[in-house]
Amino acid sequence: MTAYPHLLRPLELGHTTLRNRVLMGSMHTGLEETRDWNRVAEFYAARARGGVGLMVTGGMAPNKEGGVFPGAAGLFTPEDIANHRIVTDRVHAAEGKIAMQILHAGRYAYSPDCVGPSAVKSPISPFPPKELDEEGIEKQIADIATAAARAREAGYDGVEVMGSEGYFLNQFLVTHTNRREDRWGGSYENRMRLPVEVVRRVREAVGPDFIVIYRLSMIDLIPNGSSWEEVVQLAHAIEDAGASILNTGIGWHEARIPTIATSVPRKAFAWVTQKLMGEVSIPVITSNRINTPEVAEEVLAEGCADMVSMARPFLADADFVAKAAAGRSETIAPCIACNQACLDHTFSGKLSSCLVNPRACHETELTYAPAETPRKIAIVGAGPAGLSTALVAAERGHAVTLFDRADRIGGQLNMARMVPGKEEFHGLVDWYETMVAERGIELRLGTEVTPDTVAGYDAVVVATGVLPRDPAIPGQDAENVLSYIDVLRGGAEVGPRVAIVGAGGIGFDVAEYLAHQGESPTEDPELWQREWGVADPAEIRGGLAPEGPQPEASARQITLLQRKSEKLGKRLGKTTGWIHRASLQMKGVQMIGGVNYEAVTEEGLQISRGEARNDPETLAVDTVVLCAGQVPDRSLADALSDAGMPVHVIGGADVAAELDAKRAIDQGARLAATL
Ligand code: NAP
Ligand code: SF4
């Protein structure tokens, strides 16, 4: 008897059956743009072997003007069709099913050729769209239908028509972007004409025995978004036009409410999909912040949807479904929703991967082959770099001993998990604990390692991490000064008025930690909705609360400081930095750049501005917290080198600048693949 009866139940679609209720949602990984079709095929085939019910590819452009950026991939030539055939054949050989997403970006296209219902520029693209005329609209419909027919020719099992997240079809639905007065604008019947016509023509082009998913924006999270009656009306019309499945879209890309970041509660928007249940007779899929089989099962058992879409969890672990089906869900590498190696890469024009699983999108290049000669390997430091090395080395058959002077594994992950909004880090540390045991790694915690401890091993890996950088501020040894370690690890007493020195990832984390009191909104969906101003779309168009965000008051008066004069938080994650900034601003955290730290006094922190350092002022605070970056802890590496022992130095002990768990884990895995 499985623990996931709803999740693992097949889904009958008439002409075909899906083996379970799990959809791997569309992700733009950048793989197609590499034009290495073997690599693309292996990415999807690995997930098909892992048991997922149906996969959706990254968005394929139906034409030049609809591409997300110039040169975006699509099925334009016979050669493209043949290349996609490589992918679909490999997926089918692995007994999987795959649908191709057709994504027309409309005014979101990063291109001077972009088009839209009206010439209303989007806040996230510098290019104003050209308003389409009747002929132009017909061309878009024809191109989308042709893309669907070509997808069928390329061997896909279906297509997903992207109608949400504020893309082209979504742009016709709301008056905010559709100012037309012809038959494609004005009344809702007119505004929804395009998406409905697209689905009708797609169905006509592909025939009855082909999956057509329509991704429908169920809560726009923008002013003047769709009303709930309109959402239901559209859902009916899309069903009548021939869609086989409705997938959920949450929020436009320009919305100022986080929808998938790690601080969003798990299954935060399943209630929105649930409102549509019973309204249509085709299956409905829910989505967003569902990352474990337990949560997915819960969502289905609660009747929120017929099927669950998860995207990033399949980067973290290709075998998600197979492991769940085998009753081994604790061995699933968890997606912590950090976006650091997936969406942040996509939006920087880089190939996606996964912080937790560096093999994601690198399946053909980073392989963990069994070691020819198993060796005895000592790894010092059980933070992300050391853990990653240990797991891969053990997987390859080496005998691994993992040392740490702390009494638990996790290193800096143990600080991250203390921060409200970063609760997913608990699951990551738990997973490492499970896998250390699973792979038979000898764990020696509470051990201060010296060259003698590791004498006798065939290879030694030093992953001893970092030490806090000393900002050398006069007076910093006083009792009112703490390090981020005292705060996040030790729970040190912090006064009601705080100055934070340094506004990198850790400065922001400390500010978030100190601003909160009581339960983290990430653990309390109603509180989270209130904080960000999310309302029921049945009560207010687009689901934006009229009163706006209503955050809880900050637990402290906080000032966050840096020496650089640039905007604070500028270097945080590309897709998440704005959330950290907005969250602290909502809490009234003051952010000051361009300062010099003159001294810590009994009154507080004395700062000055600019090169002239004139007119120093004192910030009256009770506590100063130092978050001035980190330097490598190389003491053991140096001692081993002095003793003439060869070592591999990785993670923060190697390079501390711009260190994060992504680099540490990747470096560890790549080293272990070669040991
Ligand atoms: P960091 O991001 O490098 O930030 C260090 C901060 O200290 C900067 O604000 C810097 O700003 C300041 N600073 C540097 N030298 C200083 C000095 N001598 N005196 C005073 N201030 C100084 O380092 P971190 O905050 O320690 O974070 C470590 C790593 O963990 C980072 O790479 C970070 O990305 C990662 N991390 C990421 C997240 C995340 O949310 N993704 C969260 C936590 C940590 P000025 O030089 O302008 O003063
Ligand atoms: Fe999930 Fe982070 Fe991996 Fe992206 S990089 S798939 S968000 S764990």
DSSP 198: H
Q: Which residues have a Cβ under 8 Å from the Cβ of 528 and sit 6 or more positions away?
A: 263, 264, 265, 268, 521, 522, 534
pLDDT of residue 90: 98
pLDDT of residue 615: 85
Complete DSSP assignment for 293-350: HHHHHHHHHTTS-SEEEESTHHHH-TTHHHHHHTT-GGGSPPP----TTTHHHHTTT-
pLDDT of residue 657: 83
Q: How far apart are CA 92 and CA 99, in angstroms?
A: 12
CB atoms within 10 A of CB 526: 10
Strand-pairing partners, residue 160, are: 101, 213
CA-closest residue to ligand 2 atom 1: 335
| Cα 110 from chain centre | 21
| Cα 580 from chain centre | 14
Query: 272 alpha carbon to ligand 2 midpoint, in Å?
Result: 24
Measured CA to CA in angstroms, residue 444 lies from 44, 412, 419, 436, 636 at distances of: 38, 18, 27, 12, 16
Is 522 in a helix, a strand, or coil?
helix
Which residue in 232, 168, 228 sits closest to 198, CA to CA?
Answer: 168
> Rounded to two decimals, what is the model's pTM?
0.96
Q: 432 an active-site residue?
A: no
Q: Which CATH superfamily is domain 470-517+553-628 in?
A: FAD/NAD(P)-binding domain (3.50.50.60)
Q: How far apart are CA 205 and CA 145, in angstroms?
A: 6
| 337 pocket-lining for ligand 1 (C-beta < 6 Å) | no
Residues having CB within 6 Å of any atom of ligand 2: 312, 315-316, 335-342, 354-356
Q: How far apart are CA 421 and CA 413, in angstroms?
A: 14
Q: Which two tokens stand for residue 69?
A: 């950026």
Q: Which CATH superfamily is domain 11-346 in?
A: Aldolase class I (3.20.20.70)
User: HSE on the CB side for 259, CA within 13 Å?
Assistant: 23
pLDDT of residue 277: 98
- Proximal ligand: closest to the CA of 384: 1
Q: Which of 658, 660, 667 to mutate to test the pocket of ligand 1 (most atoms within 8 A of CB)?
A: 660
Query: 468 alpha carbon to ligand 1 midpoint, in Å?
Result: 10
| 409 pocket-lining for ligand 1 (C-beta < 6 Å) | no
| 460 pocket-lining for ligand 1 (C-beta < 6 Å) | no
Residues in the chain where the model's pLDDT stays below 50 = none
| 629 pocket-lining for ligand 1 (C-beta < 6 Å) | yes
One-letter amino acid for residue 505 of the chain: G
| 613 pocket-lining for ligand 1 (C-beta < 6 Å) | no
CA-closest residue to ligand 2 atom 6: 312
Quickly name the fold that domain 376-467+631-672 has: Rossmann fold (3.40.50)
Domain ranges of the chain: 11-346, 376-467+631-672, 470-517+553-628
Q: How far apart are CA 661 and CA 666, in angstroms?
A: 8
Q: How far apart are CA 46 and CA 341, in angstroms?
A: 19
| Cα 649 from chain centre | 29
Asked whether the domain spanning 376-467+631-672 has the same topology as the one spanning 11-346, the reply is no
106-133 pLDDT, tens per residue? 999 999 999 999 999 999 889 999 999 9
CA-closest residue to ligand 1 atom 40: 505
| 99 pocket-lining for ligand 1 (C-beta < 6 Å) | no
